[in-house]
Structure 1
Amino acid sequence: MEQTAPSLDLSLLVWPGALIALLGIIAILACVRSVMKARNAGLSNEEMVAHMQKMGAWNMAALGVSAIGLALMVMGLLLG
């Protein structure tokens, strides 16, 4: 008899991918909330620009996390 290695079940990537994508979406919403809060605080122009630049970087990072989670979900669904 021939022994084979156990197969890798890629469908197990779906739920962790969904969790990672959800965390990314929550982070995006937190960025939006922070910008709206700063907008309503009546900051000066320089302070608002600095805050928007910081939030832009955080928003891109959150978008990347969300995209990685979505990619994991798609891989799990297609290859699992």
Structure 2
Amino acid sequence: MQALIWIGAFVSFAGIAGLGYCVFRAMKARRAGLSDDAMRAELQRVVVINMAALGVSALGLMMVVTGILLG
């Protein structure tokens, strides 16, 4: 079960890195001074990536907790 914990930690870290990427991309869009429509379109794409990254992070956390409970 030790492997499940480490794999889960890695998956969770990848999800957190994805969340950081979303923050970086949103700040980049904000600094670009886009029009309202372009900004809305960019942020809609960021929200999709954000939700996927949040799901990956939650999955990794579930793997860690499962590994701890089984170990």
TM range (shorter): over 0.9
RMSD after superposition: 0.7
Aligned residues: 71
Task: Give 1 or 2 for the bigger CA radius of gyration.
Answer: 1
When normalised by structure 1's length, the TM-score is 0.86
Q: State the match for 1:36 in structure 2.
A: 27
Q: State the match for 1:53 in structure 2.
A: 44
Shift of 1:71: 0.3
Dislocated runs of 4+, deviation >3 Å? none
Correspondence 1:14-33 to 2 at 5 A: 14-33=5-24
Q: Deviation string for 1:30-76 (max 9, x for gaps)? A: 01100001001100000000001000000000000000000000000
Please list every run of 5 or more consecutive structure 1 residues that lacks an aligned counterpart in the other structure. 1-9
When normalised by structure 2's length, the TM-score is 0.96
